[in-house]
Each structure stands twice: as structure tokens, then as C-alpha cells.
């Protein structure tokens, strides 16, 4: 907690006393070294258990503590990277191995963004052969290199190829070795490109039962085998290099044949940002994906979204009917880790639609939204709804309603804290990352935008001194216009072994 608070304090100091930031971030990193867990020792402990054995409680807690230690080290060092890169390099030998690897990747990215291309190339060559190769950062570096540096592009490509040979890289719709082939094949020797294509296809053929679904603006594109997906991705290139072989391979994949008729350039037909030049300003990747066919959870989510959107459209002309239809929706659907709140989301949609035209109906929708969430068993997942409700109330100048929603949301956060601090089964994750602390902060952040005094008064009602101090630091940082600290949420239950975590970027 000392390390986490020091990192948060450094954010505020960057605005009011920049000369102290470096020292505080170094102290934040140094504080993690007092945590006794280390990666080598815990790896040895884990190896003592057979693959079908559950780890004992001591080992599980050590794993959780190591995860916390790694994240705290990454936070401190990435923030220090902006202030003093040389100091980061001097501290890296004391960091955990995964942290060292990640920091090296971020240094590559930073050097590329800063147009220090020779430095980026030098850092990329320092990535250990057995580490996860940074395909995304290598791609960005190749995009940044000018045409006269094709030799460097070829050497970077060879590094990526060697890494993929040791451990196959697969990022559906993202940057991996195959996408590097698609982008840069015209800058590389023909024999090298052919060898790379065969390497990817051979690896895909050895993987059975791993279908792929692409989610695009044009719809969903599905493949039952990874090989079919890779053929769809790479055959347009192979056709230009060896047309006979491309035709031969295509005969064995009806799915690739079908999809290439609709999208003759493969992935580049679906997403024009997959090319050998940097993305233009405002240009975004248009493709995502997942393993296997769309599952029932995706179908539930899509159906829920369609219902809510229809209710929003109805609200424009018939608010009463929209409210009545929203009341018929279930309060929650789906598993806890991806739960949806159709009724609440519909009420919020009605309020968004009517907030400038029909204050009375919008206000009623927000009050019904709050009522629909009062007894949800998924308190943390519902926090987005409370926060959006407060924001809509503020836009309507309904300050009393916004404060009412804020206080109701804080009551829900109090329930979360009771669960986090349950003496029979406590959350042993870092207190600053408890779901309740995240909920408190998101609510306080929302209300601080129009009533800072209310936010501070509510924070000071929290009895836990560590949580109180953290929220006060965050409020101070906000008043200074400092960066947000790293918003992580983590659950590691001691007895039930319920465990999950997420990263979140808070938007105003």
C-alpha cells in the first residue's frame, strides 16, 4: 500500500513540485522490494504440484502477492520512465523478470513514438529470444522506419520470425507475425516471405479444433479451423508470389474459398488499416476477433443491446410506452463476469434520449434505473450505471437527483466493502484495488465534477484510514489536474478462491 500511495502522490507532485517526482517514484519501486515473494522461488513451488493438483493456500497467496508486486513495480517504473529513463534502466535488474520484459517493450514503444528509431532498434535487439516477442511494438517500429531503411525492416522481421518459430504467435484481428507478413511482404526478399508463410500455415495446420470468429463492420466472418483463417489471411499474398501453390492450398479449404470471393484481399479487404504505412489521424482498426464461434454469452449481449436500442428509439415519440417496455426487461442477464443489466440500461437510454426534451420523463427514468439496481447481486458490475445516471442528472441540472443517485450508489459501495472485508473470507488483494475502493472512487469522481465539497465530505465518512488517504490523494490530484493513478480492480478471496482482476481507464 505504501508503494501504491507513493505512486499516486507522484502524480500530484508532477503538477506542484516536479523536482520531487523522481525521488518519490524511486521510493515507490523500492517499497516493493520489501515484499518477499519472487518469481523464481514461486515457479519452483508451483512445479512441485502435479498438473491436476490444486495449489495449497500458502502458494496461492504467494502467487497473489507476486502478481501485486509485479504490477506495482510496473506502475512505478513506467511513470519514472517519463521522468528519467536512465534511472529506470539502473533499477531494472532489481525488478521481477516479467517486469523487466514489459519495461523493455514500453521503452521500445516510447523510443519509436519519439522518433528515436536507432534507439528503438537497439532495444528490440535486446529482447531475450525466449521472451514473448513484442509484435505490436515491432510493427509500429517498422511502420515508422523510412523506405531507405528496408534492411532494418528485414532484420526486425527475421527477429519476429525466429520468435514465432519458438512460440507461435496468434492475435486474432491484432498484431502478430502473420499480420507482419501481410503488412510488409513487399519490403522483404521473396524467399523470406515464402518461408514465413509456410511457417505460419504449418503451425496452424497442427492446431486442431481452434476455430476463429472475426467481428467486422461488415458483419461476422467465421472459420472452423485456424488453418482456414490463416489461408484467408495469407493466400492473397501467396497468390502473387506462387500462384500455383496458392491455388492448390485453396482447393483444400472451402471456407477460405467462400470468404475470399467476398473479401479478395483477405484481412485487408475488411480492414484497410492493415498496411505498410502508419494509421492516419482518427483512423481506427475495424476488426476484432475471438477463438471459436460466437457463444451464447455474445448472443445474449447482442440481443440485450438490440432491445435497449429499440426502447431508446421508442422513447423519442412515445416515452410512456418506452418506460412500460423497459419495466418488462430482466434486471440482469448473463454470468457475473459479463453480466448485463437490460432494465437499467433501457432506463438510461430513455433518459439520454429525453434529457433535453422531456425532463420529467427523463428524471422518472433515472429514478426507475436506481430502483432496478437496488437489489442486484452484481454490485461492482452495476457501478457504470450509477455513474452514468449521475452524469445525465448533471447535464439536466438536476443536482438534487444527481446527489440522490450518488448517495444510493455509495450505499452499494459500502456493501461491496463489507464483502471485501468479510472476516470469514476476506479479499486478500491490495486494498487500493478492492472493488469497493474502485466503486467509491468512480462515484466520488462523478460527483466531484459539480460538487467537490460533497465529494470530500462523503470521502471523510469512510472510516478506513488507508482508503480515506488514497481517495483524498486522488481528489487532490484531480484538483491539480494531475494524471489519474493506475485504476486496477482485483479480487483474491482467501477461502472461496474467487479470483479476478481488470484494468480500467476512467473517462470524464
Question: What ranges do the domains of the chain cover?
Answer: 170-293, 296-503
So what's the pLDDT on residue 128?
83
So what's the pLDDT on residue 290?
64
Characterize 97-108 residue by residue with b for buried, 16 or more Cβ atoms within 10 angstroms of its Cβ, and e for exposed. ebbbbbbbbbbb
Mean pLDDT, the chain, integer: 90
Per-residue confidence band for 212, with pLDDT thresholds at 50, 70 and 90: confident
Q: Residues 456, 470: contact at Cβ < 8 Å?
A: no
pTM for the complete prediction?
Answer: 0.84
User: Which of 499, 506, 504, 436 lies closest to 464 in space, CA to CA?
Assistant: 436
- Kindly tell me if the per-residue pLDDT of 15 is higher than 60: yes
- Kindly tell me if the per-residue pLDDT of 352 is higher than 90: yes
- Compute the average pLDDT of residues 133-142: 96
- Compute the average pLDDT of residues 99-111: 95
- What 3-state DSSP class applies to 272? coil
Rounded Cα–Cα distance for residues 457 and 446 (Å): 14
- Kindly tell me if the per-residue pLDDT of 508 is higher than 50: no
- Kindly tell me if the per-residue pLDDT of 38 is higher than 80: yes
- Compute the average pLDDT of residues 35-59: 80
So what's the pLDDT on residue 507?
47
493 burial type by CB count under 10 A (0-12 exposed, 13-18 middle, 19+ buried)? middle
So what's the pLDDT on residue 472?
94
- Kindly tell me if the per-residue pLDDT of 114 is higher than 50: yes
In percent, the amount of the chain with pLDDT more than 70 equals 95
Compute how many other C-beta atoms are within 10 angstroms of the C-beta atom of residue 322: 25
- Compute the average pLDDT of residues 118-123: 97
So what's the pLDDT on residue 447?
95
For the segment 388-407, what is each residue's pLDDT rounded down to a tens digit? 999 999 999 999 999 999 99
- Compute the average pLDDT of residues 228-243: 95
Contacts by residues 275-283 (CB-CB < 8 Å, ≥ 24 positions apart) = 275/183, 276/142, 276/143, 276/183, 276/184, 276/186, 276/187, 277/143, 278/140, 278/143, 278/144
- Kindly tell me if the per-residue pLDDT of 50 is higher than 70: no
Place of cell 479478395: 264
So what's the pLDDT on residue 81?
95
**E-state strands within 415-454:** none
- Compute the average pLDDT of residues 245-250: 94
Rounded Cα–Cα distance for residues 465 and 497 (Å): 27
So what's the pLDDT on residue 280?
86
- Compute the average pLDDT of residues 459-472: 92
Listed range (163-172, 285-294, 450-459) with the worst mean pLDDT? 285-294
Amino acid at each position: 500500500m505504501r508503494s501504491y500511495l507513493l505512486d499516486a502522490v507522484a502524480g500530484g507532485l508532477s503538477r506542484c513540485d516536479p523536482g520531487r517526482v523522481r525521488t518519490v517514484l524511486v521510493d515507490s519501486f523500492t517499497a516493493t522490494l520489501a515484499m518477499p515473494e519472487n518469481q523464481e522461488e514461486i515457479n519452483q513451488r508451483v512445479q512441485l504440484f502435479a498438473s491436476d493438483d490444486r495449489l495449497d493456500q500458502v502458494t496461492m497467496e504467494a502467487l497473489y502477492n507476486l502478481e501485486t508486486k509485479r504490477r506495482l513495480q510496473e506502475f512505478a517504473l513506467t511513470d519514472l520512465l517519463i521522468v528519467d529513463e536512465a534511472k529506470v534502466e539502473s533499477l531494472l535488474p532489481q525488478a521481477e523478470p516479467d517486469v523487466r520484459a514489459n519495461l523493455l517493450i514500453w521503452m521500445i514503444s516510447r523510443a519509436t513514438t519519439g522518433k528515436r528509431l536507432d534507439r528503438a532498434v537497439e532495444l528490440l535487439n535486446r529482447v531475450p529470444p525466449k521472451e514473448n516477442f513484442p509484435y505490436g511494438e515491432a510493427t509500429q517500429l517498422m511502420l515508422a522506419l523510412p523506405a531507405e531503411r528496408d534492411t532494418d525492416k528485414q532484420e526486425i522481421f527475421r527477429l519476429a520470425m525466429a520468435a514465432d518459430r519458438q512460440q507461435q504467435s496468434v492475435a486474432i484481428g491484432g498484431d502478430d507475425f502473420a499480420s507482419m507478413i501481410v503488412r510488409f511482404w513487399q519490403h522483404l526478399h521473396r524467399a523470406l516471405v515464402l518461408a514465413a508463410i509456410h511457417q505460419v500455415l504449418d503451425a496452424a495446420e497442427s492446431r486442431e479444433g481452434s476455430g476463429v470468429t472475426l467481428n467486422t463492420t461488415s458483419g461476422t466472418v467465421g472459420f472452423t479451423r485456424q488453418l482456414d483463417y490463416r489461408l484467408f489471411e495469407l493466400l492473397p499474398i501467396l497468390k502473387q508470389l506462387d500462384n500455383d501453390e496458392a491455388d492448390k492450398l485453396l482447393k483444400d479449404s472451402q471456407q477460405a474459398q467462400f470468404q475470399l470471393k467476398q473479401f479478395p484481399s483477405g484481412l485487408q479487404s475488411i480492414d484497410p488499416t492493415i498496411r505498410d504505412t502508419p494509421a492516419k489521424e482518427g483512423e481506427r482498426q475495424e476488426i476484432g476477433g475471438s477463438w471459436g464461434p460466437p457463444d451464447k454469452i455474445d448472443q445474449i449481449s447482442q440481443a440485450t443491446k438490440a432491445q435497449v436500442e429499440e426502447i431508446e428509439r421508442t422513447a423519442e415519440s412515445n416515452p410512456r410506452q418506452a418506460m412500460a417496455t423497459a419495466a418488462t426487461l430482466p434486471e440482469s442477464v448473463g454470468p457475473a463476469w459479463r453480466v448485463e443489466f437490460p432494465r437499467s440500461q433501457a432506463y438510461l437510454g430513455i433518459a439520454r434520449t429525453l434529457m433535453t426534451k422531456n425532463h420529467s420523463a427523463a428524471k422518472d427514468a433515472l429514478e426507475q434505473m436506481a430502483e432496478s439496481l437496488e437489489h442486484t447481486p452484481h454490485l461492482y458490475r452495476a457501478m457504470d450505471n450509477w455513474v452514468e445516471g449521475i452524469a445525465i442528472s448533471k447535464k439536466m441540472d438536476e443536482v438534487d437527483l444527481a446527489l440522490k443517485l450518488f448517495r444510493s450508489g455509495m450505499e452499494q459501495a459500502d456493501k461491496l466493502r463489507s464483502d471485501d472485508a468479510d472476516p470469514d473470507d476476506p479479499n486478500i488483494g491490495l486494498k487500493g484495488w478492492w472493488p469497493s475502493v474502485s466503486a467509491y472512487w468512480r462515484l466520488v469522481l462523478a460527483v466531484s465534477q459539480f460538487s467537490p465539497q460533497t465529494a470530500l465530505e462523503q470521502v471523510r465518512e469512510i472510516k478506513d484510514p488507508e482508503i480515506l488517504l488514497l481517495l483524498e490523494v486522488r481528489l487532490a490530484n484531480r484538483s491539480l489536474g494531475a494524471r489519474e493513478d493506475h485504476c486496477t480492480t482485483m479480487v483474491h478471496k482467501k477461502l472461496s478462491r474467487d479470483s479476478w482482476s481488470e484494468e480500467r481507464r476512467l473517462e470524464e
